[in-house]
Structure 1
Amino acid sequence: MSSAEFVAGWLAGAAGLALGHPFDTVKVRIQTQAGYRNILDCMVRTYRHETFRGFFKGMSFPLLSVAVVNSVTFGAYGNALLYLCNTPCRDRHSDPPSYAHVFMAGSFSGLMQAVILAPVDLIKVRLQNQNHPYGRSRVVPEEAQPRYRGPMHCSAVIFREEGFAGLFRGGWALVLRDTPTMAVYFLVYTGLCRGMTTERQEPGPVTVLLAGGCAGTVSWALATPMDVVKARLQMDGLKQTEYRGVLDCVVTSARKEGLRVFLKALSLNAARAFPVNAVTFLSYESLLKVLC
């Protein structure tokens, strides 16, 4: 087993998260809260009510744990390729794996990511959906107090009120989102790198940035419908179980709001995905050169 992918994924994921979290907060609110006319309206109202700090709600926990999640994502992908075609990371460009192996390794990576990510993502989404203000007054009315005081308090409340299974609420939707889209993610990245690089040569920084950004945009465009379902199921615990499962959430949401509901925040996801994944892949590839 190679450890280089785990370490590179650890650091690269942290860089991507720091860049993309404010956009993620807006995305989650649009998908789960009614009343916003569009992305700009959500951003303006968040800033007016909560200042810039409102865009970073729920970031501390994933920033600390993203090391584990992204380490698993890239580590599982790299080691799956090593198992499938016996290609170590240092030879991945000079002796490239087949696209079929890339697809299978990406699917395995997405499955592993979903299992590890489920509790982390649930807590992040719950914290992002709190609309309490920052810095407006020293005295905050009791009804305006946030339900969760932080990530540890949030996890404790969920465990107490919803049990251990409650920490994995929306987990199946996460598996259905990440398993196919991570396969596409790595497939698009690999294909673009090969297409823009001389055969058996390492891609340059510009190529990595473009390929990583495009891979993120394409995968998030495919992931958005199930991402909407995942976010709604995760917030379901606060609404005393409105949905009976993934299929019921899909049917109920479509019946009430039409099929367009599954495209909520699509444009924001695509816009956020490009810079975040460009930085993530550039960091990842740069670190692999040092670690392999």
Structure 2
Amino acid sequence: MEEVSTKPSGYKEYVAGLLAGVATVIVGHPFDTVKVKLQKHSTEVEGIKYRNGLHCTVRILATERVRRLYKGATSSFIGVAFESSLVFGIYSHTKNGPQPQVIIPSAAFGGAIISFVLCPSELVKHACNKAELLQCRMQVQGADLIVTGMFPGGSTALLRESVGNAVFFSLNTDSSDPHNLTDVGIGILTGGLGGVAFWSAVLPLDVAKTVIQTAPDKSCQRNPFQIYRRTGVRGCYAGLGPTIVRAFPANAAAIVTWKLAMKLLGIKNE
């Protein structure tokens, strides 16, 4: 019988995390596409008006086929795979036991590290979606944007990823066998619920980060608690529905793939 190692291998944990990220994009990217379509076409455009997510999906499949659901997925595969590799790898290397007092700081540390990657990449994403914002910031800030301007909302992103990953991994600590159908079902459930719990816990921070990053100038309010006072609870949970709908299947796929990869690579998940 093949011996399963309980010690970090140096790279295998990162490979397992990378595969989990690929699975996340395969399952989750179509949901992102539909969400963007719904947001962009909230009013009638060129004779098309989407009533809901299902109607939007059917129209996309009917007119543009499956490939349209994965438009722009290449960059997502690269980015999410890298981020997932980091967070799962760091978590696996720093965790030494299944106790909550070990899991929570390990997961939070992994989340804190990837926040330094996510913050500038999400800023670029926002800027690409709103070209005039980028132009405005370049005119005002000049070359400073490259150094300091790439991290507005950095502390909020760090808090979001630290808290969110601590919640996520706390719900995904079992060492189930991914070859057993019952355990696969458990992995789907815990992974999906972990994703839902992640975003339910930190969505206000994500909204605050988005507000901070899309602000036209530095004088904008950068305190997430002040943003809460201005927008209220409803504003802090803007986009909760589409986020939750995507979170369950995408994170379920990530956890099942991660555990299967760990098993195939000979690493025991404890």
Paired with 2:13 and 2:181, the residues of 1 have a C-alpha distance of: 17
Cα 1:57/1:171, change in 2 over 3 Å: farther
The offset of 1:268, in angstroms, is: 1.8
Query: Counterpart of 2:171?
Result: 188
Query: Counterpart of 2:21?
Result: 13
Paired with 2:182 and 2:148, the residues of 1 have a C-alpha distance of: 44
* 1:273 partner letter: A
Identity of aligned residues (%): 29
Q: What is the aligned counterpart of 1:267 among 228, 232, 241? A: 241
| Deviation digits for residues 145-197 of structure 1 (CA, Å, limit 9, x no counterpart) | x669xxxxxxx99985723222222221110111111111000122xx47xx6
- Equivalenced residue count is 239
Paired with 1:167 and 1:41, the residues of 2 have a C-alpha distance of: 37
Cα 1:121/1:18, change in 2 over 3 Å: farther
* 1:258 partner letter: G
Paired with 2:18 and 2:195, the residues of 1 have a C-alpha distance of: 18
Unpaired runs of at least 5, structure 1: 86-95, 131-145, 149-155
The offset of 1:231, in angstroms, is: 1.4
Cα 1:159/1:177, change in 2 over 3 Å: farther
Paired with 1:186 and 1:78, the residues of 2 have a C-alpha distance of: 11
Q: What is the aligned counterpart of 1:286 among 252, 255, 260? A: 260
Paired with 2:194 and 2:112, the residues of 1 have a C-alpha distance of: 18
Q: What is the aligned counterpart of 1:251 among 199, 221, 226? A: 226
The offset of 1:60, in angstroms, is: 3.5
The offset of 1:41, in angstroms, is: 6.4
* 2:237 partner letter: L
Cα 1:120/1:54, change in 2 over 3 Å: farther
Contact kept, 8 Å, 1:254 with 1:261, in 2: the verdict is no
The offset of 1:36, in angstroms, is: 5.4
Q: How does 1:80-95 map to 2 (within 5 A)?
A: 80-81=94-95, 85=96
Query: Counterpart of 1:240?
Result: 217
* 2:220 partner letter: Y
Cα 1:165/1:216, change in 2 over 3 Å: same
Query: Counterpart of 2:79?
Result: 65
Paired with 2:124 and 2:34, the residues of 1 have a C-alpha distance of: 16
Contact kept, 8 Å, 1:118 with 1:167, in 2: the verdict is yes
Matched, 1:175 2:158: yes
Matched, 1:23 2:31: yes
Aligned Cα RMSD in Å? 3.8
Unpaired runs of at least 5, structure 2: 1-7, 44-49
The offset of 1:76, in angstroms, is: 0.6
* 1:251 partner letter: Q
Partner SS, residue 189 of structure 2: helix
Point out the more displaced range, 58-67 or 112-121. Answer: 58-67
Contact kept, 8 Å, 1:99 with 1:187, in 2: the verdict is yes
Paired with 2:182 and 2:86, the residues of 1 have a C-alpha distance of: 24
Paired with 2:78 and 2:261, the residues of 1 have a C-alpha distance of: 19
Paired with 2:76 and 2:182, the residues of 1 have a C-alpha distance of: 30
Paired with 2:86 and 2:245, the residues of 1 have a C-alpha distance of: 25
Contact kept, 8 Å, 1:10 with 1:71, in 2: the verdict is yes
Cα 1:118/1:98, change in 2 over 3 Å: same
* 2:104 partner letter: F
Paired with 2:76 and 2:255, the residues of 1 have a C-alpha distance of: 19
Paired with 1:253 and 1:45, the residues of 2 have a C-alpha distance of: 32
The offset of 1:25, in angstroms, is: 5.9
Given the two structures, how large is their TM-score scaled by the length of structure 2? 0.73
Cα 1:203/1:291, change in 2 over 3 Å: farther
Q: What is the aligned counterpart of 1:208 among 187, 203, 223? A: 187
The offset of 1:8, in angstroms, is: 0.8
Paired with 1:224 and 1:182, the residues of 2 have a C-alpha distance of: 13
Partner SS, residue 189 of structure 1: coil
